[in-house]
Chain A
Amino acid sequence: MAIKEITVPHLGDFSDIPVIEVYIKEGDSIAVDDSLIALESAKAVTDIPSPYAGTIVKVLIKEGDLVNEGTAIAEIEVAAADEKSPAKSEIKAEPPIEAKAQAAEKEAEPVETKAAPPPAPKGEEAPLSLPPLGGAYHATPALRRYARELGVDLSRVTGSGAHGRILHEDVQRFVKESLKGGGVAAKPFALEDFSAYGAIERIPLSRIQKFSGPHLVGSWQAIPHVTQFDEADVTELEAFRRSVKSEIKLSILPFVIKALSSALKEFPSLNASFDEATGEIILKRYHHIGVAVDTPEGLVVPVVKNVEGKRITEIAAELASLSQRARDRKLTTEDLAGGSFSVSSLGGIGGTYFTPIINRPEVAILGLSRIKKQPVWDGEAFAARDILPLSLSYDHRVIDGATAVRFTGHLSGLLTDLRRVLL
């Protein structure tokens, strides 16, 4: 038996990553690859697995700490057999913080709940005069009153004082962050008792939803969204796509990404971020396209880097690999970082148009819906054409309406005749 220290592995080019959950406590016995902590980085929740099996002797980290590669997580008394060879740790990235609202969460098991207890009727005991001692938080009476006045639920505030004591500053910070649009509303919306109207069921939000929610709220509240709808005639493109003999199955997505890159070159303000502090627009000379991928755990947005220099088949191959790794939960934080523009494709499912939420700090997102055969007047007669619906949400502080509609028109033209990409 020996005591080893477990440290944070290489996480890509990130520093000061917040710990959002600590799964272990002293005395826990764990196996290799059991999750130790969850980190929030690059809009994803990343579990750090244990390289050893054994018993946790000491936890050296707490929620809210900022960590880097090499930061000590815990001391573990290693089972003899494991002493020499720490298992190679694979960082699994879990879905995340998604810029689109349609995360279909599958892991959430429905939980049977009884209707909320009705107000105490006559004949019941008066409630215990002593409330549950200590509560879920650690704060002095004056601070509890202060929090009550501000409507802050102290069980949601992390204490920075000794032994986790919640200090005045902690409450102030919590309120400031809430106001900033971190999205954590200080007081939840008061619901009525729906069970009065019929049977109800309560299902907890998944961890992924819990973390993505505030980001979605933040983006939605901070960015004045406008969504431009347009359509592209992709009849020739579809005929060409089907005729291509390729090792990998080619969907229309890599073609759209290639055309998108070409369009972004013409309209650089859509491939940008807005620096609210300085009032500047940061144009990005690289085209890193985030693509929403549906996995059993929910949606992830891995990023295909530098599509401007890649061939369509290369993009397709990379997309296939990213999707597979997403489903196997093997994406690294690097796979999820650095996006400059996002695409959300619901084409495989259906629908016509939708209004995607911008993946902050990007300034635009393109939604693709299902291609439909539609009658189009060609000047003499109606012809059956393949029409792809486009939905572009953009940050109106950075992009004006004329630019947006020119952009979608340009993109539509590129998709109708892909040869123009070469021009």
Chain B
Amino acid sequence: MKTIERDLVVLGGGPGGYTAAFRAADLGRSVTLVEKEPVLGGVCLNVGCIPSKTLLHYSEVIEETKEIADLGLHFPPPAIDLEKIRAHKAKVVKGLNDGIASLAKARKVEVIQGVGTLKGAHELLIGDDTAIQFKDLIIATGSRPARIPSIPYDDERVWDSTDALALNEVPKRLAIIGAGIIGLEMASIYHALGSEITIIEMLDSIIPPADKDLKAPLLKAIKGKYQIHLSTKVEEVAASEGELTLKLDNGHTIAADALLVAVGRKPNSDSLNLESAAVAVDRRGFIIVDEQLRTSAQHIFAIGDVTGDPMLAHRASAQAKVAAEAACREKSAFLPLGIPSVAYTRPEIAWVGLTETEAGERGIEYTKGTFPWQASSRAMSALAAVGVTKALFDKKTGRLIGAGICGKNAGELIAEALLALEMGAVSEDIALSIHAHPTLSETFAIAAELALGRATDMLNR
């Protein structure tokens, strides 16, 4: 085994890891990035957000051509060429892989492929052949799909999100355990490609963290398309040659040709030998960090999914910049007022800041403005009248504390609410900013007007 000495080491090359590496390099540090896969980008780019959004674009086009058929525009049924779709997806991913690799090269970030394990507080073992002695370390090892016992994972018809995104086939009947964001996005893709979808969720609602009224339009839209079993557990999965059989605790039995298990993710912290460096984790295995992303070891930082919820790429990259700056002795801190969550469903759901439930838990009194998209001219003309925009304001200060949007492009529209939240905008600031008409974005301003009781596009209640 050879031992090398390095300055700042980043373990994990996902959106958190490569961002941390690049920021630290720009601040003058000599950076080494260790990644277990041959390409950078992590789950997000390779087997997560980017491939799923690429495939979701197909499903969107298919669904739109179906919906417009009733309105006087007819297309023949889609002819699906899976191989071409896979090639396109791979091309998108590869383009971004190459982009990151060239950015790393231009910044003189050294990339080492291998699996890192700590040995003490200042040494990282890469496999059996290299030991890196580091000054500072940023851990960005991410997360992996959680597994539930009693599921026959060995059967190749049982998928996790990575298998689903591989798009090896379109099963006739796809069962999905878990009605969170990942489960619902995969349902969208496969439904459009022709699968019959059955979703089984243990909790009593889809996308558990979001407010009920926000999910109502989505629930209405998918109820006719998928079979949905809420508050239901899968008791048994039996694999026979012809099909998979799921026994549910509500008495139903589901026959499926493939099963996707999307029941959350768990941190990749268990194989790092963190104890040897005195890096503390919580009971669920998430690394405990302070607002500078420092772990219980002063020179070791942790960012991204391995530090807890919400497990989102944009949270990881924001943390990455703070950790890199803190490692360079800058006074940075990770104290956002909101981190947006987006479900790329049809219609999309996005929210930021506090939900009504969270505001209630914190005892914050708030006023609410809710604007249904049936009253939005732009939504109507874009066949997107299924949706709602709502904004919550602190009664005492008038400041925006949270917002949620369900509808076409909600993921893009939420950006305005996020900016308003971080800037400390009060309801009047939003209502008085002139929004273009007709747009979907004006629904946010109208929601603010409704909270103030001075809307004109709708009756104030």
Which chain A residues have a beta carbon within 8 Å of chain B's beta carbons? 119-127, 129-134, 138-141, 144-145, 148-149, 151, 163-165
Contact = CB atoms under 8 A, between A and B. Distances in A.
A165 B336 CA distance: 17
A133 B401 contact: yes
B338 A141 contact: no
Contacts of B315: 129
A163 B280 contact: no
B288 A120 contact: yes
Interface stretch (B147-155, B178-186, B391-399): B391-399
Given A126-B289, A133-B362, 4 more contacts: A119-B296, A123-B283, A129-B315, A141-B336
A144 B335 contact: yes
A151 B401 CA distance: 26
6 pairs of A and B residues whose beta carbons are closest in the complex: A126-B308, A126-B282, A126-B286, A138-B424, A148-B331, A141-B422
B423 interface: yes
A124 B283 contact: yes
A55 B320 CA distance: 52
A124 B286 CA distance: 10
A149 B398 CA distance: 29
A165 B330 CA distance: 25
Instruction: Please report whether the interface of chain B is mostly helix, strand, loop or mixed according to DSSP.
Output: loop
Tier of interface size on chain B? 35 or more
Contact of B397 (A125, A132, A138, A140): A138
Interface string B296-312: 10000000000111100
A32 B426 CA distance: 36
Contacts of A125: 282-284
Contacts of B426: 163
Nearest to B335: A131
A165 B424 contact: yes
A124 B285 CA distance: 10
A149 B354 CA distance: 28
Contacts of B308: 126, 129
A127 B288 contact: yes
Contacts of B330: 149
B333 interface: yes
Contacts of A129: 307-310, 315, 339
Most B Cβ at <10 Å: residue of A130, A132, A140: A130
B396 to A, nearest CB: 10
Nearest to B354: A133
Interface in B309-344: 309-310, 315, 330-333, 335-339
Nearest to A148: B331
Contact of A151 (B287, B331, B402): B331
B62 interface: no
B353 interface: yes
A145 B310 CA distance: 23
B56 to A, nearest CB: 26
B399 A163 contact: yes
B281 interface: yes
A140 B309 contact: no
B397 A123 contact: no
A120 B280 CA distance: 8
A134 B335 contact: no
Interface in B382-432: 394, 397-399, 401-402, 422-424, 426
Given A122-B280, A124-B283, A126-B307, A133 B353 contact: yes
